[in-house]
């Protein structure tokens, strides 16, 4: 009996759990800083007067830069130490937040957002890789990954809420100033509570591979966003071609270099590939609907930015419940149960939104959104736990970078695919009533056009636009539900293949 006790992995201590609490802070802030601009947009645009193009860059550059650097930063953490990279990123994140809060021009706002993204790219994979090192027990690791998922996905909901509360009392820079004390706490507590971990081989950093991955991801995300906004054209095609070429060069180098940035053989593991695919699918659903939800609540139902954010709080509870359930089940059941179950729940949530939105009820919409959030919490937790379990410990940073990159790519695809579906449905519905005016393009254009019309024509146009936008949300949600349901079928098949291989390998070893 004694040798069985020695074979069990060590349990986490109180210090380990306290260290996890510290790690959750940057995970929360990284996603918060994506969504906080949704509620701060009116105040920032009034103060800095950016052009439409400048504001688009201020919104997009954070996700662009972070997506491009995640794989490289994950590999760098494996080489120089994940805790060291985390602390360097925390210092940079705090400095960038201070610069953003006092940015006097749109150009400096854009530069500050880019710098914040560089820092965020160091924080995201480092936090998840450190969890892999800190929690050897599989059940405890599942709970820790669940808590990380709650923080990371919940930040997108917390951003507008916290931002709205701050803007009630302070100037727009306060939404960035709040990052600074959190980063100071991380810098103070991190060295005391977080163990250092790195690749023991001390392999050199693949700088050329990192550059190729940066170009591939940036070009792919830009191609998706550009095509969604402007349709298929030469710029989008050139970006997609650049992404393919850079991606091929990256893969070729990773197969040939002595110390690759990532081990491409990981993708030959069905469980790893299924987890990455599931991550992309659920992110498409949540970001795609999230990009439409606040406009729906504000423009269709007349809620203020803060009121709409407060109405979205149940979705945070849904994410927490899903992540908690998956964390508890991961160590007891095969990965297929929480992963596929989460995908099915996410698809059901989107289907509920698609069915409920045309009837116009706020709480039926929030109910479906909360079911979606539950599924996302469960699937994302199971997916991240699977990535960490299948990747070798010395590659935990790079594997975490891949997982985070899949999340960023899924977000870009979600906005592009579901946003395009919603826009197409809206334009079809408004083709006649708008008669080619601004209302034909967007619900914001309808509000501007209605301001120049007398009553009752103005109210009629606004009601028609609200119905058209609601139809667009329903169309996008139905498309998202179908996509995630298909992902659930493919994921179940891939995990079934993985289990068959495991059973065959065990039989051969006997």
pLDDT digits (tens, 9 = 90+) for 215-250: 887 888 778 777 766 777 888 889 889 989 988 888
pLDDT at 212 over 80: yes
Buried b or exposed e, range 490-509, using 16+ CB within 10 angstroms: bbbebbeebeeeeeeeeeee
Tokens in use for 446?
Answer: 């309808």
Average pLDDT rounded to a whole number, residues 487-496: 85
Kindly report which listed range (98-107, 222-231, 319-328, 370-379) carries the lowest average pLDDT score: 222-231
131 vs 34: which has the higher pLDDT: 131
Residues 6+ positions from 246 with CB-CB distance below 8 Å: 212, 213, 215, 216, 219
Domains located in the chain, CATH noted: 13-205 (1.20.1250.20), 268-510 (1.20.1250.20)
User: Using one digit for the tens of pLDDT, what is the confidence trace for 302-337?
Assistant: 887 677 778 878 888 888 888 888 777 766 666 677
What is the 8-class DSSP label of residue 269? S
Q: What is the pLDDT of residue 5?
A: 43
* Of 201 and 81, the one with more pLDDT: 81
Helix axes 457-509, 336-356, angle to 10 degrees: 170
Q: Crossing angle of helices 106-134/52-80, nearest 10°? A: 30
Q: What does the alpha-carbon distance between residue 13 and residue 6 come to, in Å, rounded to a whole number?
A: 17
Q: Which residue in this structure is represented by tokens 């709409």?
A: 308
Share of the chain above pLDDT 90, in %: 8
- pLDDT tens track for 426-485: 888 887 665 567 777 777 777 777 777 778 878 888 888 888 888 888 898 999 999 999
3, pLDDT greater than 60 = no
The whole-number pLDDT of residue 8 equals: 65
Q: How far is CA 111 from CA 94, 115, 347, 387, 431, in A?
A: 15, 6, 38, 33, 39
Residue 6 pLDDT more than 60?
Answer: no
* pLDDT score at 231: 73
* Of 260 and 6, the one with more pLDDT: 260
pLDDT > 50? residue 211: yes
Average pLDDT of 44-58?
Answer: 76
How far is it, in rounded angstroms, from Cα 240 to Cα 245? 9
Q: Determine the Cα–Cα distance for residues 377 and 343; give it in Å rounded to an integer.
A: 10
Of how many residues is the chain composed? 510
Please determine, for residue 347, whether its predicted confidence score (pLDDT) is greater than 90: yes
The span from the CA of 360 to the CA of 368, in Å, is 13
How much is the mean pLDDT over the chain?
A: 80
């Amino acid at each position: 009996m004694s040798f069985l006790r020695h074979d069990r992995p060590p349990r986490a201590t109180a210090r380990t759990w306290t260290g996890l609490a510290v790690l959750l802070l940057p995970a929360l802030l990284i996603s918060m800083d994506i969504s906080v601009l949704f509620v701060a947009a009116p105040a920032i645009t009034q103060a800095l007067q950016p052009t439409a193009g400048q504001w688009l860059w201020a919104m997009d550059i954070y996700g662009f830069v972070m997506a491009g650097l995640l794989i490289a930063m994950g590999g760098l953490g494996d080489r120089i130490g994940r805790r060291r990279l985390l602390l360097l990123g925390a210092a940079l994140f705090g400095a960038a937040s201070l610069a953003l809060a006092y940015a006097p021009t749109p150009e400096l706002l854009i530069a500050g957002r880019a710098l914040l993204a560089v820092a965020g790219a160091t924080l995201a994979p480092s936090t998840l890789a450190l969890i892999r090192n800190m929690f050897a027990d599989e059940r405890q690791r599942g709970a820790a990954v669940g808590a990380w998922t709650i923080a990371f996905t919940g930040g997108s909901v917390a951003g507008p809420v916290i931002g709205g509360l701050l803007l009630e009392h302070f100037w727009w820079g306060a939404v960035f100033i709040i990052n600074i004390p959190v980063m100071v706490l991380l810098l103070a507590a991190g060295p005391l509570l977080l163990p250092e971990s790195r690749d023991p081989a001390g392999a050199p950093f693949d700088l050329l591979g990192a550059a190729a991955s940066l170009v591939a991801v940036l070009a792919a995300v830009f191609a998706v966003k550009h095509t969604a906004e402007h349709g298929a054209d030469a710029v989008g095609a050139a970006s997609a071609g650049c992404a393919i070429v850079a991606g091929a060069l990256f893969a070729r180098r990773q197969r040939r270099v002595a110390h690759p940035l990532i081990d491409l053989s990981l993708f030959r593991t069905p469980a790893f590939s299924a987890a990455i695919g599931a991550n992309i699918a659920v992110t498409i659903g949540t970001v795609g609907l999230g990009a439409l939800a606040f406009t729906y609540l504000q423009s269709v139902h007349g809620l203020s930015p803060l009121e709409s954010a407060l109405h979205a709080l149940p979705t945070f509870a849904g994410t927490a419940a899903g992540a908690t359930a998956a964390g508890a089940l991961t160590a007891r059941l095969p990965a297929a149960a929480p992963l596929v179950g989460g995908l099915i729940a996410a698809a059901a949530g989107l289907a509920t939104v698609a069915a409920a939105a045309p009837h116009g009820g706020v709480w039926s919409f929030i109910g479906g959104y909360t079911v979606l959030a539950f599924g996302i919490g469960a699937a994302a937790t199971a997916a991240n736990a699977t990535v960490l379990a299948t990747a070798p410990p010395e590659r935990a940073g790079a594997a975490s970078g891949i997982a985070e990159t899949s999340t960023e790519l899924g977000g870009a695809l979600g906005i592009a695919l579901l946003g395009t579906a919603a826009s197409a449905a809206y334009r079809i519905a408004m083709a006649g009533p708008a008669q080619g005016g601004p209302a034909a393009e967007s619900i914001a254009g309808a509000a501007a056009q209605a301001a120049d019309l007398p009553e009752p024509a103005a109210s009629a146009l606004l009601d028609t636009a609200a119905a058209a936008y609601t139809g667009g949300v329903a169309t996008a949600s139905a498309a998202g539900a179908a996509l995630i349901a298909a992902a659930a079928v493919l994921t179940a098949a891939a995990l079934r293949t993985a289990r068959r291989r495991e059973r065959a390998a065990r039989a051969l070893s006997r």
